Amino acid sequence: MAAPRPPRLDATADEVARIAAAAPDWPALAAAARPCVACPELAAVRQHVVVGDVPVGPPRFALVGEAPGATEDETGRPFVGRSGALLDQLLAEAGLARSEAAVLNIVKCRPPGNRTPTAHEVARCSGWLRRQLELLDPPIVVALGLSAAKWFLGPRTVLARARAEGPHDYAGRALWPTYHPSAAIRFGPNGAPRAALLADLSAVAASLGRRPA
């Protein structure tokens, strides 16, 4: 059974979903997303719409976070700041390569001050992510952090419980909810979030027949 879809709260979200669904491929989708102004507060202060990174071939898995941070907004690429550096390190330790993953966010523009995206912003941006997952069709999705986990599993999701019950089925894909790299940074190198994130990435690697480095 597919997990609950994020709610569409207004006509703007429906229009974004319509435009996204009409994109026949990744380049067309990226071109349609970059001028998006569905969320006026975000569009007014962003430098880039951070559409996402995709591998040359079909992705072996997808990493889905919350929203771009300052470095991501400056560069137009996801997970290239401190969180991205740690994510790359933990992927390598788990035996995975970022180059084989699609790297995405549920919201494509940086919220001011790195605040949590609002429900309206998530809903208005959801059409882009839904179409990205349809086009890329990754067999495994790693939801990084509570906001991403809620996008897939519903607003009442408790991350620790969802992680313990994973992997989940989402539209025929294996969904692994886990901690965001920013939580691993916040709690330090010996904190539980970092250990849990590495353990979950290692489990994903094992499901792909990989061994830790």
Find the CATH number of the domain harbouring 192: 3.40.470.10
What confidence tier does 153 reach under pLDDT thresholds 50, 70, 90?
A: very high
Predicted local confidence at residue 211, as pLDDT: 64
Give percent of the chain with pLDDT exceeding 70: 94
Number of neighbours of residue 202 by Cβ within 10 angstroms: 18
Residue 31 lies in a domain: yes
Q: Which residue would you say has higher pLDDT here, 6 or 149?
A: 149
Q: Range of 25's domain?
A: 11-207
Please give the pLDDT value at position 185. Answer: 96
- Residue 4 forms part of a structural domain: no
Residues 6+ apart with CB under 8 A from 38: 12, 13, 15, 16, 124, 125
At residue 208, the pLDDT reads 93
Domain assignment of residue 50, yes or no: yes
Please report the pLDDT score of residue 113 as a whole number: 93
pLDDT value at 68 more than 80? yes
The number of distinct structural domains making up the chain is 1
Residue 6 lies in a domain: no
- Write out pLDDT tens, residues 21-51: 999 999 999 999 999 999 999 999 999 999 9
Decide if 18 is inside a domain. yes
CB 93 within 8 A of CB 212: yes
> So what's the pLDDT on residue 3?
47
Task: Quote the pLDDT of residue 212.
Answer: 59
Instruction: Check residue 209 and give its pLDDT.
Output: 86
Confidence of residue 141 (pLDDT cuts 50, 70, 90): very high
Within-domain flag for 148: yes
pLDDT value of residue 10: 86
Give pLDDT tens digits for 162-190.
999 989 999 999 999 999 999 999 999 99
Q: How confident is the model at residue 108 (pLDDT cuts 50, 70, 90)?
A: very high
Of 2-6, 39-43, 53-57, 67-71, where does mean pLDDT reach its minimum? 2-6
pLDDT over 60 at 7, yes or no: no
How far, in Å, CA of 93 to CA of 144, rounded? 17
| Sign of the four-CA dihedral 40, 104, 113, 76 | negative
Q: Name the token pair of 47.
A: 């430098």
On whether residue 213 sits in a domain, the answer given is no
d(CA 131, CA 43): 21
Q: Has residue 86 been placed in a domain?
A: yes
